[in-house]
Structures are given as structure tokens and as C-alpha cells.
Amino acid sequence: MTSKPPKAPPGLAARGRRLWTDTTRDYDLRRDEEALLLELARTLDMIDTLEAALSRAPLLVEGTAGQPRPNPLLGEVRQHRLAAVQLFRSLGLSDVADESDDGKPLPTPKQVRAQRAAQARWGTRGAP
């Protein structure tokens, strides 16, 4: 019998809370994986906040010498997106999102890590 998934931590916005709820419902995570999931949820919430601010701001701003330059929010959004990708990969969730279309159950992050380890160790054996 599986235990009840942990509640979403306080302070998460809609996107982060949805990710937390969906992920903890579908996967049994270790404490370190829960910590990564929390950081990912916070990162996704921050991306939403930054994108909302950017939608109200100009794409070009005036630089120190009066020259037009990209709004610094663009760089922040890009960096947060890269951080989110890394957190997804650290959790082993980046490769499983598209595999549910065939009707098979999604592998757990632990199973994905085990598959990668087996492929790294045994993947080239017996190849011509």
C-alpha cells in the first residue's frame, strides 16, 4: 500500500503547486528528490513571475551610455529556464514526459536512472 503523497509546501504559486501535486502523485520520491522538486517548482513559479513582468516592460531599455540594450529580464528568464531544464534532468523527469502516449505506465525516476546506468555499462557490449 502506498502512502499518501506529501502536500505541496506553502508559498508555491499555481504552476509550482500543480507540478508538485502531479509529480508526488505519480512518483515515490526520496527526500533529496523532493528537495529538487521543490526547487524546480519554485523556479517554474519564478519564470512565470519574470515573464509576467517582461510582458509589461519594453524589450529594449536604455543602457548606461544611452544606447538601446535588451531588457535584463530577458537574461533572467533564459537563466531560469536553463535551471529548470537541469532540475528536470536531475530528477529524471525530462525523458519520461513523452513516453506515456503508448499506454504504458511511466517509469519512476529511479528506473530511469537504472536504465541509464545499465546502458552506460552494457550498451556497447556485443556491438560489431
Q: List beta partners, residue 60.
A: 70
Asked if pLDDT for residue 1 goes beyond 90, the answer is no
Q: Which residue has the higher pLDDT, 80 or 111?
A: 80
Domain count along the chain = 1
pLDDT on residue 54: 95
Name the pLDDT band for 116 (thresholds 50, 70, 90): confident
26 inside domain: yes
* b/e map 29-57, b = 16+ CB within 10 Å: beeebbebbbbbbbbbbbbbebeeebeee
Give a three-class secondary structure readout of 108-120. Answer: CHHHHHHHHHHHH
In a domain, 110, yes or no: yes
Q: Report yes or no on 116 lying in a domain.
A: yes
d(CA 60, CA 88): 31
The string of pLDDT tens digits covering residues 2-50 is: 578 899 999 999 999 999 999 999 888 999 999 999 999 999 999 999 9
> Within 13 Å, how many C-alpha atoms sit on residue 62's CB side?
3
Cβ atoms of 50 and 80 within 8 Å: the answer is: yes
The pTM for the full model equals: 0.71
Phi, psi dihedrals of residue 62, rounded to the nearest 5°: -85, 130
Closest CA to 20 of 4, 2, 6, 1: 6
Q: Is residue 20 part of a domain?
A: yes
Asked if the structure places residue 3 within a domain, the reply is no
In a domain? residue 127: no
Output the pLDDT for position 120: 79
pLDDT in tens, 52-103: 999 999 999 999 999 999 999 999 999 999 999 999 988 887 544 444 445 5
Residue range of the domain that includes 113: 14-122
Backbone angles phi, psi at 52, to 5 degrees: -65, -40
